[in-house]
Amino acid sequence: MSDAQTTQIPVTVLTGYLGAGKTTLLNRILSENHGKRYAVIVNEFGEIGIDNELIVESDEEIYEMNNGCVCCTVRGDLIRVVEGLMRRPGRFDAIVIETTGLADPVPVAQTFFMDDDVRSKTRLDAVVALVDAKHLPLRLKDSREAEDQIAFADVVVLNKTDLVTLEELSKVEATIRAINPAARIHRTTRAGVALSEVLDRGAFDLSRALENDPHFLEAHDDHHDHDHDHDHDHHDHDHDHDHHDHDGHHHHDGHDHHHHAHPSDIHDVTVQSVSL
């Protein structure tokens, strides 16, 4: 690893459908005594239910946790939030960005290659997809987003493995492998993967990203042809209720897999306006 890479802060993009376990994993990062200083960027504080007893200091946009981590929301564009984190005293060990359940991770990942200032100070470390072992077959049947998230992931956390049989688990894992043979898969219950397995792994593979999307490094004003109706789904709260599937009300129109022409909570009109 070059000197430049060692000074750049690793960034993890966390994707996953409603109920897959993102909330549980984020709360672990913000509460466990892991000895690291992580910055977590979320859509809404209310979605992850931060324990007030763990908050040392807070303002409108950022919470300082008692384990040294910070949690902030995206109000405006992602680049502005990242630049704001860079200006805070002390150095973060990593930045974790949560996307909504329906989001395509590609525009978020592109942010860290498109803006020169952000690119000089950060490096995309991994795209991590949380997958609900019990409901993945239904997710894949209902929408392209679930497949997109797996296809672009460097690491897959196959969660809720206690809710399926070994035979079902093997089938789900084979399905993931068929979509993405290269991703590292971790079987977990209650998002119990070691944080060292998903953070600061150096797992992002640019050549594989370009294989999936040859236009990945191009300015993406029109490339992905996203629907820009700002269809924010504020009901997409990723509470990790292990025995209930709360995501039965999203309907998705059929569309070409590679054009991502679906409503997304990420809007990539320009790189400056990418928001979660």
Domain boundaries along the sequence of the chain: 3-205+258-273
Q: Count of H helices and E strands in the chain?
A: 10, 9
d(CA 202, CA 119): 15
- The whole-number pLDDT of residue 261 equals 36
Going by C-alpha positions, the residue among 20, 42, 26, 23 that lies closest to residue 265 is: 42
Helices 106-114 and 145-152, axial angle in degrees (round to 10): 40
- The whole-number pLDDT of residue 61 equals 74
Tokens 């029109």 correspond to: 222
Q: Which residues of the chain have pLDDT under 50?
A: 221-276
pLDDT tens digits, one per residue of 121-164: 999 999 999 999 999 999 999 989 999 999 999 999 999 999 99
CATH number given to 3-205+258-273: 3.40.50.300
pTM for this entry = 0.77
